[in-house]
Amino acid sequence: MLGVLEAVAARVSQFLMSSFRSGSGTSIVATKEDDVTREVDIAAEEMAYHMLREGFKEGGVLYAEERGVYRWGDERYIFVLDPLDGSLNYAAGVPLFSVSLAAGRYKEGTLSDLEYAVVAVPPTGDVYTAGPQLGARVNGKPVRRIPRSNIVFVAVSNSFPEKTCEVVRRLGLRGRSLGTSALELVFAAEGVARGFVDLRGKLRLLDVAGALTFGKYVTGFRYVIYGDTRPDSRISIIAGDEEFINAATAL
């Protein structure tokens, strides 16, 4: 399964970089709450869907960022996709965005079903993968969490909870935002950052399902989700090492 997921992420990454370099796909085609859908989002999602349907002809259920739920065959597998996490960066010409894809056998239709993950970073070429047999890897090499900074990634928007500021301030950390939650969570899992905090209640689980599935295979990394664990749910989340999570949740 992981090989097919990697192929899908690689093809989508190639398409995104080609479009990014040409400056295409930035037109907004739909608006939903405080988010927008661009031409490139739709094109990348449909590309991934067709590849997954071809690769898993028996059946599947795909939860996707832009057009909701795709179903085919006997629905034996579950896939959770954000084809372009960081579309605002993309549209602004900032080369920092990712492709997030996770999968597993369909059982409950929740995060717990997911066993395999790929988070690809098209601008850098880095690929994070995870699965039951291989564990967590980056560019094919095993990942071992080594904490090496006092940075905490925080989600910022027009609704920035004071609680988030309190976590950063009281714990003596430095808040940063990259504009792509999936990549921020992968970095937190690696130890590049101490943790990740999004307390807005607006993050869709499908945006970060790939990163969270990757994180399950990294020793020393944990997360706490506030909200439903179905892929299309909106959540708040605190992630990082156990000491960070205990301190942050206490606040």
**29: in domain:** yes
CATH code for the domain of 217: 3.40.190.80
**pLDDT in the model for residue 249:** 87
Tell me how far apart the alpha carbons of residues 126 and 95 are, in angstroms, rounded to a whole number.
13
Same domain assignment for residues 115 and 10:
yes
pLDDT tens per residue, range 145-202: 888 788 999 987 766 677 887 888 888 889 899 999 999 999 999 999 999 999 988 8
Mean pLDDT, rounded, of the chain: 92
The alpha carbon of residue 211 and the mean position of all alpha carbons in its chain are separated, in whole angstroms, by: 5
Residues 107, 61 contacting (CB under 8 angstroms):
no
Please identify, among 141, 175, 203, the residue that sits at the C-terminal boundary of a domain. 141
Q: Note whether residue 86 is domain-resident.
A: yes
Q: How confident is the model at residue 78 (pLDDT cuts 50, 70, 90)?
A: very high
Q: What is the edge-to-edge ordering of all strands in the sheet holding 234-240?
A: 174-176, 151-154, 195-204, 234-240, 222-226
The pLDDT, as a whole number, for residue 29 is: 74
Q: How confident is the model at residue 36 (pLDDT cuts 50, 70, 90)?
A: confident
Note down the domain range covering 33: 2-141
Instruction: Please report where in the chains the tokens 């869709």 appear, as a residue.
Output: 204
Do 168 and 136 share a domain, yes or no? Answer: no
Global pTM? 0.93
Q: What integer pLDDT is reported at residue 34 of this predicted model?
A: 67
Same-domain check for residues 169 and 112: no
Domain count, the chain: 2
Give the CATH number for residue 29.
3.30.540.10
Q: Are residues 161 and 233 in the same domain?
A: yes
118: left (phi over 0), alpha (psi -120 to 50) or beta: beta
Domain boundary among the residues 141, 174, 205 is at: 141
Are residue 125 and residue 100 in the same domain, yes or no?
yes
